[in-house]
């Protein structure tokens, strides 16, 4: 299945049905009076977060969604039927933006969330509604209200506990394949990963979700390479695992290049907790490995982990480091929620 994380769609709520102007006409009833019913209400545009979806591919082949129109009112005080709602199903992590791509309309982070994006138009009044003491036979009725319409953008941001960042061929996909059942494309040329991948990693009795995104290169914020459009998928991660290829010329400069791109991307990624690791350690001789670790330590201002996804050396230590940060973040979030709930309410 093709991965699609962004789609532009047109949505329109249903128009209300027209009111009816009619009069009661029955044998032996001389003054039947008005009996026109109201028009039905138009259907709503609803966005629902559901389980089992991980892409917006459904909106690649259909971009227009219109709710049902309300039925017209009829004689004998019969009201029109309400229009049928249109429901757009989206995966967890979807954000809905206005046509300007900046105004956030809805953010879906849990299965079952439901947002009425556009409300259907009200039905028009029938002539029975206009009966007064001085106007016993009104001949007027209202047309139905027009339903709202707009273009919206759907953007998917994957929900994961940890995110992998690094240059192309830093070993991110190999790491994901080594720690989970995910099978991303792996090859000895750059940009083998063209779309984000998710995997569930296990360490001890714990499990957590890891997101792998296409590699960054210098100038990604300006669109160089694949650019930074996939960085949104790790905005929700609690921790980043920054993999630095040990076979590069200078591990420290490589680290700084990626960190610079994260800082230039406006998403708070540069402030997220980070675990730094030197990858492909099995391809280095002891002297080169020691030199690259020292360079990376100076650049990152911390002692990096050393691992090899191919031989699994150091992989478990990296997973445990990630779990420790994830648990700390969860505890901080729980404490913040507890404090917010304990604050006294002031009307």
The pLDDT-based confidence of 261 (bands split at 50, 70, 90) is confident
Write down the pLDDT at residue 189. Answer: 47
- Binding residues are 166-173, 191-195, 212-215, 279-282, 308-310
Helix and strand numbers, DSSP H then E, in the chain: 5, 14
- Binding residues for Mg(2+) are 173, 193
CB-based contact 160:210 (threshold 8 Å): yes
Strands 114-118 and 45-49: antiparallel
Residue 36 has pLDDT above 80, yes or no: yes
State how far the Cα of 67 lies from the Cα of 248, in Å rounded to an integer: 56
- Mind listing the pLDDT tens digit for each residue in 38-58? 999 999 999 999 988 878 888
Domains 1-156 and 162-339 share a fold: no
- Mind listing the pLDDT tens digit for each residue in 318-341? 999 999 998 888 888 777 777 766
Structure-model confidence comparison of residues 157 and 147, the more confident one: 147
- Mind listing the pLDDT tens digit for each residue in 272-303? 889 999 998 888 888 999 999 999 999 999 89
- Binding residues for GTP are 166-173, 191-195, 212-215, 279-282, 308-310
Q: Rounded mean pLDDT of 162-171?
A: 85
Of the options 3.40.50.300, 3.40.50.2000, 3.40.640.10, 3.40.50.620, the CATH number for the domain spanning 162-339: 3.40.50.300
Query: Look-up: residue for tokens 């545009």?
Result: 45
Cα dihedral 312→313→319→320 (10° resolution): 140
- Structure token pair of residue 166: 């690094």
**In this structure, how many other beta carbons lie within 10 angstroms of the beta carbon of residue 239?**
23
Average pLDDT, the chain: 86
* Sheet-wide strand order for 64-66: 64-66, 6-12, 149-156, 94-98, 104-107
Of 322, 241, 251, whose CA–CA distance to 283 is shortest? Answer: 251
State how far the Cα of 311 lies from the Cα of 300, in Å rounded to an integer: 25
Write down the pLDDT at residue 67. Answer: 96
DSSP three-state, residue 111: coil
Answer yes or no: CATH 3.65.10.10 is held by domain 1-156.
no
Biggest CA pair distance of the chain: 110
pTM for the structure as a whole: 0.75
Residue 154, φ and ψ in degrees, nearest 5: -105, 125
Residue 293, φ and ψ in degrees, nearest 5: -65, -40
Residue 343 has pLDDT above 70, yes or no: no
Q: Rounded mean pLDDT of 2-30?
A: 89
- Mind listing the pLDDT tens digit for each residue in 207-246? 888 888 877 766 655 555 555 667 777 788 889 999 998 8
Residue 232, φ and ψ in degrees, nearest 5: -60, -25
Domain spans of the chain, in order of start? 1-156, 162-339
Residue 200 has pLDDT above 80, yes or no: yes
- Name which of 77-86, 95-104, 169-178 the model is least confident about: 169-178
Of 147, 130, 151, 149, whose CA–CA distance to 139 is shortest? Answer: 130
Helix (H) or strand (E) holding 198: strand 197-203
Give 149's contacts (C-beta < 8 A, 6+ positions apart).
10, 11, 12, 13, 118
Structure-model confidence comparison of residues 15 and 238, the more confident one: 15
């Amino acid at each position: 299945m093709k991965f699609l994380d962004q789609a532009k769609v047109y949505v329109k709520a249903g128009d209300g049905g027209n009111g009816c102007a009619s009069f009661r006409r029955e044998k032996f009833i001389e003054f039947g009076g008005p009996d026109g019913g109201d028009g039905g209400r138009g259907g709503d545009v609803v966005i629902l977060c559901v389980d089992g979806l991980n892409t917006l591919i459904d909106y690649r082949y259909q971009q227009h969604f219109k709710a049902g129109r309300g039925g017209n009112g009829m004689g004998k005080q019969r009201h029109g039927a309400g229009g049928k709602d249109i429901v757009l199903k989206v995966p967890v992590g979807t954000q809905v933006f206005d046509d300007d791509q900046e105004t956030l309309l809805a953010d879906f982070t849990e299965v079952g969330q439901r947002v009425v994006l556009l409300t259907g138009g009200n039905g028009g009044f029938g002539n029975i509604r206009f009966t007064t003491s001085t106007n016993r036979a009104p001949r007027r009725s209202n047309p139905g209200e027009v339903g709202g319409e707009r273009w919206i953008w759907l953007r998917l941001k994957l929900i994961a506990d940890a995110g992998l960042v690094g240059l192309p061929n830093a070993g991110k996909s190999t790491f994901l394949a080594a720690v989970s059942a995910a099978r991303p494309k792996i090859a000895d040329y750059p940009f083998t990963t063209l779309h984000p991948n998710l995997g569930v990693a296990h360490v001890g009795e714990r499990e957590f979700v890891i997101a792998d995104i296409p590699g960054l290169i210098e100038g990604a914020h300006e669109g160089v390479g694949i650019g930074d459009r996939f960085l949104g998928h790790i905005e929700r991660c609690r921790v980043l695992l920054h993999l630095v290829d040990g076979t590069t010329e200078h591990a420290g400069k490589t680290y700084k290049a990626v960190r610079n791109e994260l800082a230039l991307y406006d998403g708070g990624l540069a402030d997220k907790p980070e675990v730094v690791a030197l990858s492909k350690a099995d391809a280095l001789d002891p002297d080169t490995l020691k030199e690259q670790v020292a360079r990376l330590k100076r650049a990152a201002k911390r002692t990096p982990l050393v691992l090899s996804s191919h031989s699994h050396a150091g992989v478990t230590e990296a997973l445990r480091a990630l779990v420790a940060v994830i648990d700390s973040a969860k505890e901080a979030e729980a404490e913040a929620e507890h404090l917010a709930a304990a604050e006294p309410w002031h009307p």
